[in-house]
Amino acid sequence: MFNTNTITRFQSLETPFYYYHLDVLRQTLEACRTASSKYGFHVHYAMKANFNPRVLDLIKEYGFGADCVSGNEVKAAIEHGFGKENIVFAGVGKSDKEINLALDADIFCFNAESVQELEVINELAKAKNKIAKMAIRINPNVDAHTHHFITTGLDENKFGINTWQLSDVAETLRKCTSLEFLGIHFHIGSQITDMEVYKNLCTRINEIQDWFEDRGFTIKVLNTGGGLGIDYQNPDTNTVADFESYFKVFKQFLNVKPGQEVHFELGRALVGQSASLISRVLYVKNGQKKNFLVLDAGMTELIRPMLYQAYHLIENVSQSGVISPESEVEKEATQDSELNTQDFIKYDVVGPICESTDCFQKDVELPESFRGDLIAIRTAGAYGEVMASGYNLRDRVGSIYSED
């Protein structure tokens, strides 16, 4: 991803910052659009993954809708040109203020996550003399086989409505005259790469939509959520998620009836590979048992490793990541030669924050590294910049773009 000119540009900039490779983003969006449109599927971008303005503008250009989980995300979607007819509003704890904002915007659909929420939205819509379009988020109790912190579709999770509550949902929908029932919504977790999981989800969706239809409800929308994973280990060789296999599973196993729409809410898979966090080595600390690279970026810039024990590929681009504009054969020969002559050392790559958990990764094998070296933490386009904080009164991390 980084050529000589890019590295030279980095050297003149204050770190840390997020570097967005917009060509990678375009390549990913095009692949998703091509694979989904083959089946007439509707894709909404999960804005919580990254709401960088340049990123949102580009996603909107490719015709995707917006999946929002806060009132401010709804506002941002509208401001960036996502049509109200393509905006869905999910979230387990929507405030009255946020619900009213979305009602005033006449968004496409609310994804409700409790019986009480249905009642509240009905009351607020009635006060405005409006009809709120609704989908019901249901926990299908399908195990996503991913990290338990990012599993969302089990009965034990806070999200959605459990299947044993469906009778209450049906009764509430019948009596709430300011609600229009559109369909059912699911989201079972994140960073899912096993397509068998989605096959199991389809089976449960088919069963649940039959339950509703047997009770006289017409389902217009099947919203399957998202969660498609990406390759954090090999960002250069597996840059684009496997959209073809992902959408094919739903085409094969989801029972889509005439007139129904199938919706998806993808975030990480669209933006994850499009950015790296660029940092500098402040200090090298060599010990008897451990060597540390202390960076000027920390958990305030990228919290995922601390929060989820998440893996990100770490590269010292000053020592081994410079890719010159040579032919592929010459490039491989040069890199092989460099690898054979460089000494590799295991480092704990840590940040400057006053917390022991401020560690990106332990025992990372890197070329011998020095103060001032540029470090790239890859695949940071999802849940990176958007989760940055000002803890320790740190400056907010900035962004630069490949096309500037």
Q: What are residue 390's phi and psi, to 5 degrees?
A: -105, 20
pLDDT given for residue 2 in this prediction: 86
State the average pLDDT over residues 281-298.
95
Domains delineated in the chain: 4-17+273-401 (2.40.37.10), 22-272 (3.20.20.10)
Cβ proximity of 276 and 401 under 8 Å: no
Cβ proximity of 263 and 224 under 8 Å: yes
Q: Give exposure, 230-252, as e/b (b: 16+ Cβ within 10 Å).
A: bbbeebeeebbbbbeebbbbbee
Nearest CA among 77, 59, 60 for reference residue 68: 77
More confident residue, 330 or 261: 261
Residue 255 has pLDDT above 60, yes or no: yes
Nearest CA among 303, 298, 387 for reference residue 51: 387
Tokens 């099947």 locate to 222
pLDDT 10s digits, 193-226:
999 999 999 999 999 999 999 999 999 999 999 9
Strand partners, 139: 162
pLDDT given for residue 336 in this prediction: 53
More confident residue, 34 or 152: 34
pLDDT given for residue 325 in this prediction: 34
- CA distances 72 to 19, 47, 214, Å, are 25, 10, 38
pLDDT given for residue 328 in this prediction: 40
State the average pLDDT over residues 163-168.
94
322 Cβ partners below 8 Å, 6+ apart?
2, 3, 4, 7
pLDDT 10s digits, 342-385:
689 999 999 999 999 999 999 999 999 999 999 999 999 999 99
- Report residue 259's pLDDT band, with 50, 70 and 90 as the boundaries: very high
Count of Cβ atoms closer than 10 Å to residue 131 Cβ: 15
Beta-strand runs (E) in 158-241: 161-162, 179-185, 221-223
326 Cβ partners below 8 Å, 6+ apart?
334
Nearest CA among 267, 292, 234 for reference residue 381: 267
Nearest CA among 74, 67, 76 for reference residue 95: 74
Residue 155 has pLDDT above 60, yes or no: no
DSSP letter at 84 equals G
pLDDT given for residue 145 in this prediction: 53
pLDDT 10s digits, 11-58:
999 999 999 999 999 999 999 999 999 999 999 999 999 999 999 999
The encoded tokens of residue 357 equal: 């958990």
State the average pLDDT over residues 233-253.
97
Distance of alpha carbon 88 from alpha carbon 48, whole angstroms: 13
pLDDT 10s digits, 311-354:
999 999 999 644 333 334 444 444 554 555 568 999 999 999 99
Residue type, 324: S
Residue 111 has pLDDT above 50, yes or no: yes
pLDDT given for residue 143 in this prediction: 64
More confident residue, 391 or 333: 391
State the average pLDDT over residues 157-183.
93
pLDDT given for residue 109 in this prediction: 98
Distance of alpha carbon 223 from alpha carbon 212, whole angstroms: 15
- Report residue 158's pLDDT band, with 50, 70 and 90 as the boundaries: confident
Strand partners, 385: none
285 Cβ partners below 8 Å, 6+ apart?
291, 292, 294
- CA distances 361 to 223, 245, 304, 318, 358, Å, are 36, 31, 11, 19, 9
pTM of this structure? 0.90
Cβ proximity of 90 and 65 under 8 Å: no
Q: What percent of the chain shows pLDDT beyond 90?
A: 85
pLDDT given for residue 142 in this prediction: 82
- Return the SS3 of 138: strand
Residue 153 has pLDDT above 50, yes or no: no
Distance of alpha carbon 51 from alpha carbon 28, whole angstroms: 17
Tokens 């007439």 locate to 40
Residue 301 has pLDDT above 90, yes or no: yes
pLDDT given for residue 357 in this prediction: 95
- Report residue 287's pLDDT band, with 50, 70 and 90 as the boundaries: confident
Distance of alpha carbon 36 from alpha carbon 43, whole angstroms: 8
pLDDT given for residue 152 in this prediction: 44
pLDDT given for residue 157 in this prediction: 66
Residue type, 79: E
pLDDT given for residue 246 in this prediction: 98
pLDDT given for residue 288 in this prediction: 84
Residue 106 Cα to chain centre, angstroms? 25
